[in-house]
Structure 1
Amino acid sequence: MAQILQKKDIQVIKNLKAQGKKIVLCHGVFDLVHPGHILHFEEAKKMGDILVVSITAAKYVRKGPGRPYFDDEMRMKFLSEIACIDYVMLSDGYTVDDIIETVEPDLYVKGQEYAKPEDDITGKIGEEVALVRAHGGEVAYTTGQVFSSTRLINKALPSLPPEVKEYMEDFHFRYSMDEIKAFTEKIQDKKVLVLGDAIIDEYIYSRIQGLMSKDTGYSARFYEKEQYLGGALAIARHVASFCENVTLMTVVGNEDGVHSRILDEMSGNMRVKLTISNQFPTIVKTKYVEANPKRAELNKLFAVNNLPDPMCIDEETMQKFKDVLLEKIKGYDLVILCDFGHGLVDEEVQAIVEHHANFLALNCQTNSSNYGKNIITKYHRANAFTLDQKELGLAFSDYRKSEDELLLQLSEHLQSGGFLTRGSSGAECVEGGKIKRCPALTLQVKDTIGAGDAFFSVASLYAAVGAPYEVAQFMGNIAGALASNIVGNKEAVEKVNVLKYASTLLNV
């Protein structure tokens, strides 16, 4: 029986190494150990004297919501019962770097499917090899038959909702992971401009204590406050994970620290062009939330914003913004316009974008501050559009028509394909007069705020490089599922996580 070893007890390995023992390291998620893993471990053990097997801690596994299927304790326990393994360790990171630096193996052994760095979705294998060699070790690859824990789990265990499993069994016969990776590589070189309202999302974490003793309002206890970059800022961060050339253009107020904070938190490969207004404030949307004691999803209690009435940015600031936009817009392959209806996109900005964008991805949002006043049909042209069910209903206000009929009507109006997000019912896409559906890929959520923006960001990118809209919808749905498990816009949806989740789902 193998010993489960903590990093603080690594002297045990060092002593064996000092005795001349050759230390071999294998690493993975090992969510469901199968015959391929056993053969891999046995072949690795024959390459040295002591076999150490490490697993990625659950919170760092990037295979989508609900993975790993088995927790850290169960996965380590199972591995510890395999005769050829001597020590089992837990890696606290997205990569195996912490284990390599701690164990300093003489040999780091991977399966043959990792022998070609170009096939690695994470792009980290080359870095792992370099780190092993920097610590005096070498890398080898086993030659046994390749199995897949992910495929076994998808087929044998209730890891996917039935409608998702059925959808993926059909989808994977028409589209492969290699095709998706090819579209992803095309995205990388696109020059993208993100336009839209900048928003700061503020979360006040609290707990309802009851009613006020002398009034009818709620009484709540404050715990903490956090702020995240939202609106166009969040969309630009999602896009920058996929593209090397991203520019964000927006308007913000002159509040202390806002400008520097945005520049500090945006990706290093992004150009940020902020037009500063001395009159219009940076938009802050404050949400009072309460942790749910029985599930991960946050309860939304109340929301407040600082939007001025009317929502009009001063003329001087708008003219500066329009001048820069008109000068630069033609130089971008793709313009992603996120119109939140908070004053940035007036008729003139709309005209500039519609007339000069080479490829226009459009999202025109309805919210409580602009309800019924920011309708997507004010636009006359797009190359791809995204909206939700409520926004589609407001677009034509025709209760006699079905949702599909309205979606087709909007597609004809904008002369483009597009996407309809449907919350827990998934999404629909329209292309060439045909509608295709994709179910919600997960019903495990923490916070749905920002999920639609993540869908819009990623689906637009794939549509812009010529991917079938069904593929773009699938990738957007993945981004939305991942974003719904991130509180607010605390983190961007990362390309590697989207690809890993796509690989998981296609492995049916």
Structure 2
Amino acid sequence: MGSGLFKFPIAACRAGFWPKYHQTVQPEYTNKLIDRAALPRLRASLRQQGLTLAHCHGCFDIVHPGHIRHLREAATLADRLILTITPDRHVNKGPGRPVFDEGLRADNLAALSFVDWVLINDQPTATALLEAVAPDVYVKGAEYAHNNDPRFEQEREVVERCGGRVVFSGDDVVHSSTALVEALRSMSEQASPESGLMALAHLHDLRTATLNDILRRAAGKRVLVLSESIMDVYAHCRTPEVAQEHPMLSLCPDREDHFDGGGAIIARHLAAMGLDVTLCTPIGTDPDSLAFIKRLDGSGIRIEPLPCDLPLPRKVRYLVDGEKMMKIDSSTRYTLDESTADSIVARIRSSGGYDAMVIADFGLGLFANTLASRVITGARDQLGMILGDVSGRRAQLGEMRGADVLCPCEVELRQMLNAESEPLSALVSRAIEITGAKALCVTRAADGMQIYDQQHGVHTMPALCRHPVDVLGCGDALLTAMTAALLGGGNQVQAGYLGSLAAAIEGETRGNLPVSSRAIIERAQQLAAQLALGHAAQPSPVISAEPKPAQEVLR
């Protein structure tokens, strides 16, 4: 196949196909770059010569072997091949995408010898463009053969109405730019956590003094926590036995430790970090609930009770020699009046508003009947920022529409979107579209955290807990430290680092205990010293860009 309908620039100029990105001196392939105005004459010229046209459309962000095979096969199905690409503003593959802007993507494709023309579409889909191109063959990847995407169905209808046919390229090798980006990101994550942290520290101010200033500025900020409260019980048992009545585990508790959980520990974390905290939570009149009120009052936390007749939920974990053997969840399920959301909004307004609201859904029924989204909508103008998190299969992350920052774990995000194998960045993009969140911070256990910020892209924060003892409450500690950091003027990376430090402290402690600002700063100092020692012990690289030493970027 030739390189194009018009081989020389002067011929292209006379025919009206002068490239959109013309420069005084340019490679010949840039003559393949056309705009939409050229399509009617191009199509008429091809018909006059009896030449057929194949058309491929896509993002083509990172051109990989799968793309080359797909396009090369498309080129064999007609006399000429035109490619159209999605413009930057309509690429919906998650934060940080596209990797290459539309001009570079168009240049890359035009450099392929079997491609005749490249056009940047100005619409989110190819439907309208297909009317103008009217291809004889519209070629899609094999993955679309069984795809029910309504956007593709619209494209198929246009192609067939214009007399063309849809063909799917061979499926011997299927690649994905999104999967490739995820694989590269995963390879980066598998490098030492220290190297990942040092890379972040070189781009963001993670010095201990800066972090201390951030937390100090957060002190006194008013925060409302809207959540269910829980009593976490650790029942320490003797050596387990097999019951005589039936082959089942038999445990005999010797003692119990009780910890505040759910919204209560979030409130206690925030109070320990020096913030002015109000907890809005369902409260009954049972002895556990009355003791709970007294205990939180002693921590300086105001309670806005949502009256109910149910006891304080208990989650009991049975341990043997410090190892968790079994968990029994609470059977409590709140069924609150439809007017609860309006009541909460009225309380927020009467209080004069808050610098932030933290919503945490533990799946016990408080957030049924769209309570979260109704409170967010009704009180948005009274809240400086809104952060949210969920825990448990019954929690509803999708109901937190309008929150600024959401902090789910990857498992919770996949459950919400019913997607087990989809790349994480694609899930985040869908979640942001559903909730309207400005940022998603997705925790991934030992793999750390991915911070997806719509303004500043994607950042990977390594896990900082080296010797985990008990992961209960790590997500709550992370959420609250991030809240404090953002209220203190920190950016998402600084907030993520402080949150990860708080989670590491919590993870090395058995049970749910409040994490203070002082403890976070002490951990930051320890980590900075460790990294400085490790950095000093490493041999100097052969080629160096003279980076700042570890003690300067973290201390």
Change beyond 3 A, Cα 1:261–1:341: closer
Partner of 2:307: 276
Whole-angstrom CA distance in 1 between matches of 2:240 and 2:363: 35
Provide closer, same or farther for how the CA distance between residues 267 and 471 of structure 1 changes in structure 2, counting only shifts above 3 A.
farther
Deviation of 1:344 (Å): 1.7
Cα shift at 1:249? 1.3
Pick closer, same or farther for the CA change 1:336–1:231 going to 2, 3 Å.
same
Number of the residue aligned with 1:386: 407
Q: Which of residues 437, 452, 455 is equivalent to 1:430?
A: 452
Tell me if structure 2 keeps the 8 A contact 1:384–1:460. Answer: no
Percentage identity across paired residues of the two chains: 19
Matches of 1:267 and 1:195, distance apart in 2 = 19
Structure 2 counterpart of 1:170: 199
1:320-361 Cα shifts (integer Å, max 9, x gaps): 963653544651010011111212223245312343142343
Deviation string 1:463-492 (CA, Å, 9 cap, x unpaired) is 334322111111101111100122221x20
Pairing partner for 2:226 from 195, 200, 222:
195
Question: Equivalents in 1 of 2:328, 2:388: separation in Å?
Answer: 23
CA distance in 2, matches of 1:280, 1:321: 19
Contact 2:336–2:366 (CA<8 Å) still a contact in 1? Answer: no
The verdict on how the C-alpha distance between 1:188 and 1:202 changes in structure 2, with shifts beyond 3 A counting, is same
Alignment correspondent of 1:307 = 331
Q: How far apart, CA to CA, are the structure 2 residues paired with 1:501 and 1:333? A: 27
Amino acid at match of 1:442: C
- Please give the alpha-carbon distance, in whole angstroms, between the structure 2 residues aligned to 1:415 and 1:323: 20
Q: Residues of 2 paired with 1:506 and 1:354: CA distance?
A: 42
Q: 2:246 aligns with which of 205, 208, 215?
A: 215
Partner of 1:338: 360
Deviation at 1:201, TM superposition (A): 0.6
Q: Secondary structure of the residue that 2:251 maps to in structure 1?
A: strand
Task: Confirm whether residue 444 of structure 1 aligns to residue 474 of structure 2.
Answer: no
Letter aligned with residue 362 of structure 1:
L
User: Computing the radius of gyration over CA atoms, which structure comes out larger, 1 or 2?
Assistant: 2
Q: Which amino acid aligns with 1:289?
A: L
Residue identity matched to 2:471 = T
Paired AA for residue 491 in structure 2: P
Residue in structure 1 matched with residue 422 of structure 2 by the alignment: 401
Which residue matches 1:353?
A: 376
Cα distance 1:169–1:326, how it changes in 2: closer, same or farther (>3 A)? closer
Residue in 2 that maps onto 1:470: 493
Q: Which runs of 5+ in 1 are unaligned?
A: 1-160, 292-297
Q: Residue 380 of structure 1: CA displacement?
A: 1.8
Distance 1:314 1:168, change over 3 A: closer
Q: Is the 8 A contact 2:465 2:507 kept in 1?
A: no
CA distance in 2, matches of 1:210, 1:163: 42
Distance in 1, Cα, partners of 2:216 & 2:492: 17
Quickly say closer, same or farther: Cα 1:210–1:267, change in 2 above 3 A.
same
Distance in 1 (CA, whole Å) between partners of 2:489 and 2:414 is 28
Once the two structures are overlaid, the 10-residue window that deviates more, 244-253 or 223-232, is 244-253
Change (3 A) 1:321 1:196: farther
Amino acid at match of 2:443: T
- The 1-side partners of 2:306 and 2:481 are apart by 26
RMSD: 2.5
1 CA distance for matches of 2:293 and 2:487?
A: 27
> Within 2, Cα distance between the matches of 1:380 and 1:353?
8
Asked if 1:374 is matched to 2:374, the reply is no
What letter is aligned with 1:390?
V
8 Å contact 1:280–1:313 — kept in the other structure? no
Call closer, same or farther: CA 1:267–1:406 in 2, change over 3 Å. farther
Structure 1 counterpart SS, 2:311: coil
In the alignment, which of 315, 329, 353 is matched to residue 285 of structure 1?
315
The aligned residue for residue 253 of structure 1 is: 284
Q: Is the 8 A contact 2:376 2:403 kept in 1?
A: no
Residue 195 of structure 1 deviates from its aligned partner by: 1.1
For 2:476, what is the secondary structure of its paired residue? Answer: helix
Cα distance in 2 for residues equivalent to 1:385 and 1:282? 26
Q: CA deviation at 1:316?
A: 9.1
Shift of 1:240: 0.7
Match of 1:363 in 2: 388
Contact 2:280/2:303, CA 8 A, preserved across alignment: yes
Q: Is 1:483 matched up with 2:506?
A: yes
Would the aligned equivalents of 1:199 and 1:229 in 2 still touch at CA under 8 Å?
yes
| 1:456 maps onto 2:479 in alignment | yes
The correspondence of residues 307-326 of structure 1 with structure 2, limited to 5 A, is 307-308=331-332, 311-315=333-337, 318=340, 322=344, 325-326=347-348
Contact 1:418 1:469 in 2 (8 A): no
Alignment-mate amino acid for residue 506 of structure 1? A
> Take 1:313 and 1:238, find their aligned partners in 2: how far apart are those partners?
28
* Contact 1:375-1:394 at 8 Å conserved across structures: no
Residues 168 and 506 of structure 1 are in contact (CA less than 8 Å); yes or no, is this contact kept in structure 2?
A: no
In 2, Cα distance between equivalents of 1:374 and 1:316: 18
Tell me the SS of whatever aligns to 2:460.
strand
State how many pairs are aligned.
Answer: 334
Provide the rounded CA distance (Å) in 2 between the counterparts of 1:162 and 1:400.
23
What is the rounded CA distance, in whole Å, between the counterparts of 1:317 and 1:230 in structure 2? 26
Change (3 A) 1:484 1:400: closer
CA contact (8 A) 2:367 2:396 kept: no
Q: TM-score, normalised by structure 2?
A: 0.56
Kindly indicate which of the two structures has a greater share of residues assigned to strand.
Answer: 1
The 4+ residue runs of structure 1 with deviation greater than 4 A are: 316-321
* In structure 1, C-alpha distance between the alignment counterparts of 2:487 and 2:462, rounded to whole Å: 23
Secondary structure of 1:359's aligned partner: strand
> CA–CA distance in 2 between the matches of 1:426 and 1:195?
26
The alignment partner of 1:336 has SS state of strand
